[in-house]
Amino acid sequence: MCAGFAYAWSVFMKPLITMFHWSPADVSLSFTLIMSTAASTAIFAGKALEYVTPRQLLLFGGVLFGASIASLGYIQSLSQLYICAVLAGVGLGTVYPGATMTNTVRFFPDKRGMASGLLTAGYGSGPIVWAPVSAILINQYGILSALKILGVVFLVIISVMSRLLKIAPEGYCPTGWTPPVTSGQASASENKNWKAMMQTPTFYVLACIFILGTTSGMMAVGHASPIVQEILKVTPQGASVLVGYLAVGMVVGKVFWGVVSDKIGRYPVFVVLNLLAGGAMVGMATITTYIPFAIAITVTGLCYGGFLSLMAPVTADAFGPKYLGINFGIMFLTIAIAAYVGPLLASVVKQANHGDYTKAFIIGAVINLAGLLLVGGFMLLRKKSVPDEKIATACAESSESV
């Protein structure tokens, strides 16, 4: 939840612009740096788990994240803003997903979607708490003091929690559970390291699915507060309520879609998420009244959370759980790409259209349509390969019986 503070960063955008007279694009880049650095750091954090325990890694990440957020309270220039944002991103990526995701998923090999969904829900719940708290602190003490207070709070909470973390044994299986092997899912003997994973077409298809699926969500997340203020003409405090709706959608989506994917499969869920996200983007482009817009932004969060919750289980299904730490870190780089493209696209389109976000949302809907077509095509290719896999399995079983 502390790491999820990054999703409440839009609350700080207008105060920073007002205080330092920076452009929206310049301030938006700080969010991009936090998220893209976090995604890049996840690779190294996954590799670090081969040498240190998740508990040690979590402590390091918590200290760095908290100290970096507190340091933002002393900035006086854009370069200082960007340096602190990068350091905060390193701490964030170490905390989540680095020190937490792989360890959590290993405890629940039979319910990877649920486990990943619950953990990402904790991450996604951050804005529900920190958006209104940040708005209150900014109003009471000013933006710089608010950042100092929050940084110290994060450092203390994450450091204490790191001491309570339990560590999953490698290859852990719940009592009485036998790992199933289904089409498109790796067996224990088919665990692929990062080099083998990146040599498969499946990796690149999945990477594109996640980039397309999360870019439109990043548009909304990176500019949530300004979007709400400008479209609905509400105060920053009023906008923080809508940012909370976005966060609630993310939290519910991460748990709900993770559980659903355990039951009906990951790819059917991808189809539904792209359809809903595209519809929500169209809604945000055309709606100017409070309740319908609140529904649209909540659905956007619901879908964005769903994509995040599926990343770890899909990666484990396709490439095995043994090297999930670094494999997931590499797959998580797709979030870095989306974090760069989404907010930047929204900023550029807004400036080109005199402060109007409408065309940015339309572009987001088109991106989701492209994701839908990609998922549909990949599902058709996988479906055609299933009979061949079944024949191969039957032949192997026949040979063993002979």
pLDDT at position 319, please? Answer: 93
**CA-based radius of gyration for the chain:** 21
Segment holding 368, helix H or strand E:
helix 358-401
pLDDT in tens, 277-301: 999 999 999 988 999 999 999 999 9
- For the record, the structure tokens of 6 come out as 């990054």
pLDDT at position 78, please? Answer: 95
Number of folded domains in the chain? Answer: 1
Q: Which domain holds residue 311?
A: 3-164+184-401
DSSP state of 200: S
* DSSP secondary structure of 312-360: HHHHHHHH-STTHHHHHHHHTHHHHHHHHHHHHHHHHHHHHTTT--HHH
pLDDT in tens, 105-130: 888 888 888 988 888 888 878 888 89
CA angle 6, 48, 2 (to 5 degrees): 20
298 in a domain, yes or no? yes
Q: Give CA–CA dist 360/223, Å, rounded.
A: 11
Among candidate residues 256, 219, 235, the one with its CA nearest the CA of residue 346: 219
Which three-class secondary structure state does DSSP give residue 292? helix
Contact yes or no for 82/19 (Cβ under 8 A):
no
The arithmetic mean of pLDDT across residues 231-242, rounded, is 83
pLDDT at position 397, please? Answer: 42
pLDDT in tens, 326-346: 898 899 889 888 988 898 888
Task: Name the residue type at position 252.
Answer: V
CATH number at residue 231: 1.20.1250.20
143 in a domain, yes or no? yes
- Asked whether residue 347 carries a pLDDT value surpassing 50, the answer given is yes
332 in a domain, yes or no? yes
Q: Give CA–CA dist 207/131, Å, rounded.
A: 30
Angle, nearest 10°, between helix axes 324-331 and 201-232? 50
Could you tell me how far CA 160 lies from the centroid of its own chain? 24
pTM over 0.85: no
pLDDT at position 185, please? Answer: 53
pLDDT at position 47, please? Answer: 86
177 in a domain, yes or no? no
pLDDT at position 180, please? Answer: 65
171 in a domain, yes or no? no
51 in a domain, yes or no? yes
Least confident of 33-37, 182-186, 270-274: 182-186
173 in a domain, yes or no? no
